[in-house]
Structures are given as C-alpha cells and as structure tokens.
A and B are shown apart, each in its own frame.
Chain A
C-alpha cells in the first residue's frame, strides 16, 4: 500500500516536471505571458493607467492575436529577464535583448532578429568630441548590465559610472557627474526628440549595431518556428516600420533592410 502511494506521488510530481508542447499549452490555457521592459520608452514603458505600452508590447499583442489567446504582460529588467524565461514565469521574451552567443546558451533566441541597435553617446552640444578615441579617462554614465559597457571601458578607456535606471543616469548627466551618456542609439534618439534635451546631441558614429532577438525557452521547436514565421511576416508587411512611425522612432536601416529582404517572399 505504501509502495503504491509512493509510486503515485513520484508519478504525480514527475507529471508536473514533464510538460506538453509550449505552443499547445498556451493555446490550451488561453493566455500568452510575455516579458517586456517597462522602463525603456518607446519600446516598453508605463502609461498613467499603469499599463505597459510601447513597440514591444504592441508586438506581443500581435503575437497573442495570431494565437487567438489573451495577452498578459510581465515587466522585466536586464538582470532577471533570462531567469524569468528559464523558470517558465513567461512564455515569450521581447525585451530589447541583444542577440549574443552567451545568451543563446541559456535561452532559445528566435531568428531572424526583429530589430537592431548599436550603442552611442549622448553628449552636450557644448562638448566637442569627434571620435571615440577621445574618451580616455572621461567619466561616462551608463546603465548597469548593458553588454557593451565592458567593451567601451576596455577599448576606449572611458571611466564608466553605471546606474540601475535611465532616470538616475540622466540626472547624473545633468548634474555633471559624467560628461556623456552611453546607451542604445534608438533610446538616445527617443530622448533627443524631447525638448528638455534640446541642448544635447549624438555626434559620434553608432558602434557595433547588434540585432535584437526575442526568445523562447530552450527545447520548444514548435513555438520557435511559429515565432520565426511571425517575425518574417512582420518584416514582409512592414509592421515594424509602422510601429516605428507610431512611436516616433527614427526609421532604422535594419528594419528597412529586413522589409526589403522579406517583401518579395
């Protein structure tokens, strides 16, 4: 009798570990849980009603619509987005994440990549800097856990002062704790369109344009294939460029190139 109970308990717990195909599971439960940024306008930010809106939540809504399920958005940050996906807290991750080999080891990044951005510097117009090599020993504000921080420190010798959030980094910039702000070029453009930052500019060349990937948990080929087809469709119909216009982002060369590549197919 005890042996039977033990066997039952083991079977039940094992049943919990083994899971059905993710795609089927999402359709069955009727909700798609997507991790997005909530502090990175215009890709993901809060509106006064407390809802997360932006380019990536719009993309997530599109996916949910294609699956015919409801959408649930979960705010993530750089430090926890991979763990959330690994642990199954979210089904899909669309959170301004650059496609790097280290991240490919941990989660399944879907190809083709849906967007791209490189890093660049936001400096005051009064500061005269013409090339990246002039940054040696210059204090530069940054966001913690950005993957390009190490490169800028090592390659150009800048002294990085990294903060947890964009607001803190920008305040530090205003207060003169640093002479420039290192961030994604797309985000800087979003900032520069704000009249408050009219006395700032992005004079240098964008470095290291890296594609952004959305990710699903490892070992989900059906879901990954579905997302890949979805992205190709977005490029084909120019949906991403529509979102760029809607959220006032400078049309990126990457989106234009992807649209051209898939428009014919």
Chain B
C-alpha cells in the first residue's frame, strides 16, 4: 500500500508538477519522519519542563525570602523580554564554549551537551518564564477570602499553595496556559537554527533541493495544526474535567 501511495505521488509530480517528494523518495521520507519524531520529543520535554518551572517559580515568587523573590523576578524578566531565537544562540554557542568538554576520536574538543539538549534547556527556560507569570496572575485572581480561610484553618504556606491555591489558580489560568503551551509547540521550530534536525529543518533541506516550497509548506501546516489540535483538545478536556461550579461561566 505504501508502494501504491508512493507511485501515486510520483505520478502526480510527473503530470502536474506538484511535488511531494516525502511520499515517494525513500531518503526524504525517512528523514522527514525522523524530523517529526524529534519535533514530538522536543514538544513533550519542553511542555513538561516549562510547567514544572512555572509551578516552582510561582511558589518562589511568594516566598518570604527577598533573595529568592529577586532571583525569580530577574529570571522571569530576562527570559520574557528577550527573543527566544537569540537566547538559543546564546546557550548553544556562547554558554557551551564556557563549559568543560570531552574529546572525540580525532582528539579534538567535543562539547558534552548536544543541540537537542540545549534547545530543550533554552525553550524550557523561555516558556517557563511565561508560565510563572501566568500562574502568578491565576494566583492573584483567587479571592483573598479563600486564602484567609486556609490560613485560619492552620495551613502552612506550602500546604495552602499545594492544596488550595494551585488547584484554583490552575483552573483560572488554564486558557492562558493552553495558549502558552501552544506557542511553545510552535516555538520548537526555532531549534532548527542550531541544527537540530526537527521538522522545519528537514523540510528546509528538502525544499531547497527539490524546489518544492509550497508543497512542503502545506505538509508542515497540516502536521502542526494537527499536533496543536491534539494538544488543545487534551487541554480542553482537562479544563472540562476540572470545572468547578461557580468559578467562571
């Protein structure tokens, strides 16, 4: 059946000039698939990492220690107000040069942390800073009466955060969080700038060899929309499952 699909697309190219090489050329097909898996991996890792960073950071922002609050504040402002593309360059080129390195077979210096890892680190920190702000706005939207009630029941700050504030804040800020995670999945395309062979990087190679830019664009569009659609559907069903009567409409 795969052979039939390949033959059909090859025929399509010969007759109309609409060229979907990824369907009939085995080299292109295999590397495009690898690019797809890598995009999935990048998305998964960065989503989990950035939400974790957001939760921890939002807790840190309410800390009684000024140094902790300052650290979180500086981190958030730095990563929110600078371009992610330039951040990635900074990590991959600038920072990696300062870290200790190993040696390869030729005896030359070889960095220990690869492009994929740096892309993950950079994107987690980038999206995490936005998540901290999103959780903060969710926390502040909780009526003061609720936190005061928790305090009067003897909850410590951590317990209040974990059992009362965080669940409520999550429900309030879920639309904004979904928004940010969607942006994150799309931002994974930036990893191509440091030669991580994700989907856009592979598509770039393919369309500059075969001069079939529009076709590859369509494929990219469809796949990303589908990916994000799945994420949004999952977040919406989570939102529905979490719904508390009386909170919002």
Contacts and interface: CB of A to CB of B under 8 A. Distances in A.
**Contact between A and B in the complex (any CB pair below 8 Å):** yes
Interface of A: 78-79, 82, 102-103, 105-106, 124, 126-127, 141, 144-147, 149-150, 154, 161-164, 168, 171-172, 175-177, 179
Interface residues of B, number: 25
Nearest to B101: A176
Contacts of A144: 192, 201, 204-205, 208
A81 to B, nearest CB: 11
Contact of A176 (B109, B192, B209, B211): B109
B194 A163 contact: yes
A177 B102 CA distance: 11
Interface string B185-209: 0000000111100000100110011
Interface stretch (B32-40, B89-97, B225-233): B89-97
A162 B111 CA distance: 17
A136 to B, nearest CB: 12
A161 B106 contact: no
Given A144-B205, A149-B205, A176-B101, A102 B108 contact: no
Contacts of B210: 102
Given A163-B193, A172-B195, A126 B208 contact: no
B104 interface: yes
Given A105-B211, A163-B194, A126 B107 contact: yes
Which of A164, A171, A176 neighbours the largest number of chain B CB atoms within 10 Å of its CB? A176
B27 A79 contact: no
Interface of B: 27, 89, 93, 96-97, 101, 104, 106-111, 115, 192-195, 201, 204-205, 208-211
A168 B208 contact: no
Contact of B211 (A102, A141, A149): A102
Contacts of A78: 208
Given A127-B106, A163-B193, A179-B106, A147 B208 contact: yes
Contacts of A145: 204-205, 208
Contact of B109 (A105, A149, A161, A175): A175
Contact of B193 (A103, A126, A146, A164): A164
B209 A162 contact: no
A176 B104 contact: yes
Contacts of B194: 163, 168
Contact of A79 (B96, B104, B208): B208
Nearest to A137: B105
